[in-house]
Structure 1
């Protein structure tokens, strides 16, 4: 009566890492959201200072709803910060805001991995939405072509996740350098901000491992159908 899928074991390490990463970022962010910087700058003010020091006066900063929804939009050249980051002068808020400002610096200086990742966005979106549909349809119709196309599209999703890693690590590195160079955070504060950004980076590592694991599982699941 019950179908046992032995390929699910492929996902277990990624699932465990994802659970740990989510717990880690929540606990670390919560902890350092209660510790405030000596500078008294809010996340928005810290980001504005970094942008202005680098000549990015035209990059706007907007507040958006949600928790940890912060991001930089390269199309509109807008840095969007969640309400908790925008108004808070905590070490966590400043670290997150500086990280997003780091993406703006990448964009301004033509950082190659960021350009490549942005170019992959349309294909990755299509892959995440259509890959499973094509694969299931291919299995139902016994069409190796549809199955292979679905796997190819999902490979674009994996590639997007892989290229995201250097983009995010580099943005954090730029953020910490900016916070240090312009005395926005002091030595002990920088150490704490680094812990926040390292915890956030772990979520990207987990997402990448999950995508790779899902691709491997797809290949195993459809192997007989394509033979």
Structure 2
């Protein structure tokens, strides 16, 4: 059962799939809706991001275009804020919200926000660990005396779960900063705040979903180990 198809996997995989799909549909729906509504300020996402950065005394962060849909991100290694095609040149409410969110990460970096620093420090370890976790668990399951491989694999995946948990407050804090920055800079009108919040709240759901999916995957791995021991 372990070597081919494990029916118990569906018990964890189906909820994880549904959670992920729900989060993706919600964020894409909110972004699509508010991408059609032009902001009163007329500023593009790139212009809004620069305005927020300069208003916070940050002048060494570059704002660049990146291809793709909702591929927006802030790279603290090179101090580059990258905005996607639907944000960089768009003057919609959705674009302003996404751009301000990424600017919020730049402000976190500038102010040495501890959770962002911890998440950044974990990235190399988590990238390696998440790729090695399942192969190590599988090796451990295949061999009678493979408990050490299983334990290492579980530990590595626990770090990946911890990473998703740490990411959540980082993202929520960036969204909170985004709303405040847009209001303080006068980039959005009071009537536009609700739309920006809906876009950012929908985006936050993707990170909540990532936590739920990671925990479900960890529980599945633990179930494999428990069933091995029961046998």
TM-score, scaled to structure 2? 0.94
- Size of the alignment, in residue pairs? 227
Deviations 1:66-121 (A, max 9, x none): 11000000000010111221000000001000000000000111111111111111
Q: Name which of 182, 185, 190 aligns with 1:182.
A: 185
Match of 1:114 among 105, 113, 116: 116
Q: 2:219 aligns to what?
A: 216
Match of 2:154 in 1: 151
How has the CA–CA distance of structure 1 residues 107 and 179 changed in structure 2, closer, same or farther, with 3 Å as cutoff?
same
Distance 1:166 1:189, change over 3 A: same
The change in CA–CA distance for 1:225 and 1:4 in structure 2 (over 3 A counts) is closer
After TM superposition, list the pairs within 5 Å mapping 1:41-80 onto structure 2.
Answer: 41-80=43-82
Corresponding residue of 2:87: 85
State the Cα distance separating 1:14 from its structure 2 match. Answer: 2.8
Output one character per residue of 1:152-177: Cα deviation in whole Å (capped at 9) or x when no partner. Answer: 00111100000010000000000000
Contact 1:7 1:220 in 2 (8 A): no
SS of alignment partner, residue 56 of structure 1 = coil
Give the CA deviation at 1:139: 1.1
Residue equivalent to 2:208: 205
Q: Distance in 1 between matches of 2:102 and 2:161?
A: 23
Superposed counterparts of 1:1-80, under 5 Å: 3=5, 5-80=7-82
Give distance in 2, aligned partners of 1:38 and 1:190.
12
- Please name the residue that 1:163 is paired with: 166
Structure 1 residue 7: deviation in Å? Answer: 4.3
1:129 aligns with 2:144: no
Structure 1 residues 188-216: Cα deviation after superposition (integer angstroms, max 9, x where no partner):
21110010000000011001100001001
Contiguous gaps of at least 5 residues in structure 2: none
Cα gap change, 1:30 to 1:138, in 2 (>3 Å): same
Residue 198 of structure 2 is matched in structure 1 by 195
Which stretches of structure 1, 4 residues or more, deviate above 6 A after TM superposition? none
